Amino acid sequence: MPEPLIVLDQLQKNYGNATVVNKISMSITPGEIFGFLGANGAGKTTTIRMLCGLTRSSGGHATIAGKDVWRDRHAIRARFGYVAQKFSLYPDLTVAENLRFFGGAYRVPPAKLRERIALLLDQMDLGPKRDATAGSLSGGMKQLLALGCALIHEPLLLFLDEPTAGLDPVHRQRIWDLLYELSMGGTTIFVTTHYMDEADRCTKVGFLHQGRLLAMDSPHRLKCTFKSRLLELQLAPIMPALARLREMPGVLGVGLRSGRARIYAAEPEALLSQWKANWPFKEVEYQGHDWADADMEDVFKAYSQNYHEILAQ
């Protein structure tokens, strides 16, 4: 097994009395597409800023390629590319000028820089927009330009902080297609997101909740931690039914999926038998049931809500 490219050891960040990142330990091997998942405010951006040497940790330490992310931050900065959560390029410069500026900042030789700009304009579908100002681009095009600027120096590691937030499905898919291409070329990718469906696109994911790392593994293995089946009920009217189901003994939680009530319970078969024998809600019509496989949203909910009864831990 290759040596880890990124290592976090009890990494912590405090702001006053608030602990934003709480003693995270993990490692990421070269070539991974690592998804760092969690709700807004979970500590994802703070973690990525510490790894990029933009803010100093309050405790613990982290390394990239064996170098300390804070002490050696200037030495390792050329090894990675970084796409911030918010558009941070120069809106008054054109697309090509932004690429040229960042290429110069990373000291890409002029001849090589011309090749890289031409390649990235084509790869990001930005050729027709090369002379347009960055500020005039759509949200999706801005993210593609930011990605291109982060890749101008051919980094071995790419950090992306919620790169698809607010984008339409077409641009979200385009960015993920590019990430796959980069990964196949050997680039290691560290991407933060709060979209659970994007977790399945990663080779490994980590769940962050209130600054704590709850679990980390491949999407397949995390879904296999469910030891209970998920019961889905077709009910009418559905919204009052959700509220009533949450009050029932034996029910850990209830979610709405495709118009159905998804039940989180340690013994769903027993609950179903009980309800079919004596349906407890006169104002709600039971119309049928089905069984569902857990997806990444289910896994994250189980870990973050402490549904230990349904997890094989």
How do the domains of the chain map onto residue ranges?
6-223, 230-293
Q: What is the mean pLDDT of residues 180-199?
A: 92
CATH superfamily of the domain spanning 6-223: P-loop containing nucleotide triphosphate hydrolases (3.40.50.300)
Residue pLDDT, tens place only, 73-95:
999 998 999 998 888 899 999 99
Helix (H) / strand (E) element for 296: namely helix 296-304
Do β-strands 80-83 and 157-161 pair in parallel, antiparallel, or remain unpaired? parallel
pLDDT digits (tens, 9 = 90+) for 15-48: 999 999 999 999 999 999 999 998 888 999 999 9
pTM: 0.90
Closest CA to 225 of 109, 124, 307: 307
107: DSSP letter: T
- Residues 6 or more apart from 254 whose CB is under 8 A from it? 242, 245, 246, 261, 262, 263, 264
Predicted confidence (pLDDT) per residue in 275-292, tens digit: 999 999 999 999 999 999
pLDDT digits (tens, 9 = 90+) for 3-17: 999 999 999 999 999
Asked if 190 and 6 touch (Cβ cutoff 8 Å), the reply is yes
Give me the percent of the chain exceeding a pLDDT of 70.
99
CA–CA gap between residue 8 and residue 298 (Å, rounded)? 27
Alpha-carbon 179 to chain mean position: 13
Residue 313 has pLDDT above 70, yes or no: no
Structure tokens at 253: 């939680």
- The confidence score (pLDDT) of residue 90 equals 94
The residues pairing with 124 across neighbouring beta strands, listed in sequence order, are none
**Can you tell me which residue has the tokens 């801005």?**
142
- For residue 37, the 8-state DSSP code is E
- Provide the pLDDT for residue 196: 86
Indicate whether 245 pLDDT > 70: yes
Strands 18-28 and 6-15: antiparallel
Arithmetic mean of pLDDT, 169-190: 92
